[in-house]
Every structure is written in C-alpha cells, then in structure tokens.
Structure 1
Amino acid sequence: MAVVHRFHEAWHVAAPPDQVARTLSDLAGYPSWWPEVVAVAALGGDSARVLCRSRLPYTLDLVLTAVTREAPRLEVTVEGHLEGWVRFDLVPDPGPRGTAEGTLLDFHQEVVATGWLGAASRPLRPVLHWNHHRMMQGCRDGLARHLTVGARQAGPPPVSL
C-alpha cells in the first residue's frame, strides 16, 4: 500500500504577496535562490522538469504542471519520483510588530513516492520527512534572501511631491 506524505508549513516573508507570487511562479528562477533545486527545464505550456536534491544522496526527478499561477493560491501537480500536488497560499501579513508589509506563506504538499523510494517510504518515513524539512528550510531562507536582495536592487519607492 502506498504511503501518503503530507507536509504543512507556514512562515512570514517580508515582501508583498504579488512579489512573492511572481518569484514562486517563475520555476526557471528557482535554482538561483533555492539551493536544493538543482535544475529546471521548461517542457512547454505550464509544465517544467525539476531536479531536487536535499541532504540525502538522491536526486528527485519531477514534472510540475501549473494548476493555478494566480495569487492568492499557487498550485502544481507533481509527477515523477513523487506523485501528487503542492500549493502555496499567500496571505497579506503585516509581519512581526506590524512594521513591514509582508506575506504569510501557507505551504501544503501531498505526495506518494514512486519506484524504489515508494517501496522504502514506510521504514524511511522519519528520514524522508527530515530531508523534506531541510529542503523547505532552504526554500524559506533562499526566498527571504532573494526577496530582500530584489527589494534592495529596486531601490526605495519614488517620492511624490
């Protein structure tokens, strides 16, 4: 019987939802800010092949197909070494102490591993979940850095007189 892996995380990013949505919708840009995303190749339409590698010594080969690319929900189906779906819900969030406009990212994933990974999913579940947590830590940290650098490069907003 297949083992379903469900993941949920939520975190704040100090950038507005539209900026976060643009970054998360641009799969081709993931390797520049998400260290565990090794490569992305467009397959045409709304699909891309994505290679991911976290701490364990294997690379996931996935095909992601967009279900929706419009905030507040970004969602893809997943095929390949994993089968299922991933989504980010983006909620405007004033952030800690209400000082900066930001976004609450509510991440959900539900997948079943295929092949040898699927066969090993039950006994390796704690290790696979640890590995996934490490991958998502790379996402959180890389996205925060990327959005901060992007905001600095854009400069301050123009002043109206």
Structure 2
Amino acid sequence: MRVNDYHFRDTWLLSAPVRTVFDAVTDVAGYPLWWPDVREVTRLDDDTAQLVCRAALPYVLVIRMRRAEQDPDRGRLRVHLTGDLEGSLAAVVLGRPGGTRLEITQRVLATKPLLRTLSPLARPVFRANHALMMRRGRRGLQHHLSAAGAR
C-alpha cells in the first residue's frame, strides 16, 4: 500500500428510520445544511456533484462525487471520487432497533500535492482530521434528522 492510500470505515448509529437516513445521505446538495465540514456543493449533472470540504486542518479538499449505485430498496449507495481524492465511497443503510445503522467505507488515494508530499509524516494527523470530520458529520446528521422529525 502506498503511503498516500487511505482506507476508512465508519459506522453511524442514528435514531431515524432507514428511508429517512437514506434520503438524507443521497441528497448531496443538502450536506452543507448539516455537515459543517462540507462547505459547498455544486451539482455538475444528474449524477455528479463537486464538494468543497475543510475540517480542522488548514487545507481545502475539492472532490467530485459521481453516483455509481443508488438502491433505496437494498439501502446501498456507491460513488466514485475524483479530484483531491481518487477512489470510492460505499454506504449501506441498515435498520436496527431504535433507528438506523449507516456503514461507510472509503478507499481513496490522496492526489492533492500537499497531501501527497506530507503523507509520509502527517498520515496520523490526516487520519485524525478525517475522524473528526466524520464525527461532526454524524452529529450534524442526527441533529438534522431530529429537527426534521420535530416539524
């Protein structure tokens, strides 16, 4: 494995129905409403969006997400990533007692020159930054879903 290859697995436990969670995570344009690290989303076509992300570290990632699979009946979502990160993200939305389990798997190659240059030394810091971004995403989504349910 190259030093700028990353594999992330995250599980979000959410107290909302499966379909509600699926609809929220497939509405990429809505991410900035609940995910503080997704600063901007631009729809490029029916299957592609460009995201501008920034977590705790002082750099921005520009990532294009192209839908490869979106199956609400099976709770499956998969996108191809290009730009500052190249690779894929897959998600499975599963029912659980009291809500939903969202399992997210990302396999990416950091292509942004800054990340490629610093990966040999800063890899643990980049991984921590990613973990922080995902924690804030989970909390933001839970709050967003709770507020939507209260309306």
Q: Which residue of 2 aligns with 1:139?
A: 137
State the TM-score, normalized to the length of structure 2.
Answer: 0.93
Which shows bigger deviation, 135-144 or 110-119? 110-119
Shift of residue 121, structure 1, vs aligned partner = 1.5
State the TM-score, normalized to the length of structure 1.
Answer: 0.88
Runs of 5+ consecutive residues of structure 2 not aligned to the other structure? none
Shift of residue 73, structure 1, vs aligned partner = 1.1
Post-superposition CA distance 1:95-140 (Å, at most 9, x none): xxxxx3x111111111010123122212111000000001001111
RMSD over aligned Cα atoms: 1.1
1:118 maps onto 2:116 in alignment:
yes
Structure number with greater Rg is 1
Q: Which residue of 1 aligns with 2:10?
A: 9
1:90 maps onto 2:87 in alignment:
no
CA distance in 2 between counterparts of 1:33 and 1:76 reads: 20
CA distance in 2 between counterparts of 1:141 and 1:83 reads: 26
Superposition pairs for residues 1-161 of structure 1, below 5 Å? 1=2, 3-71=4-72, 72-94=75-97, 100=98, 102-114=99-111, 115-153=113-151
* Identical counterparts, % of pairs: 36
Q: Which residue of 2 aligns with 1:157?
A: none
Q: Which residue of 2 aligns with 1:156?
A: none
- What secondary structure sits across from 1:69 in the alignment? strand
Runs of 5+ consecutive residues of structure 1 not aligned to the other structure? 95-99, 154-161
Shift of residue 2, structure 1, vs aligned partner = 5.2
- What secondary structure sits across from 1:58 in the alignment? coil
Please tell me whether the aligned partners of residues 4 and 115 of structure 2 are also in contact (alpha carbons under 8 angstroms). Answer: no
Corresponding residue pairs, total: 147
CA distance in 1 between counterparts of 2:102 and 2:27 reads: 16
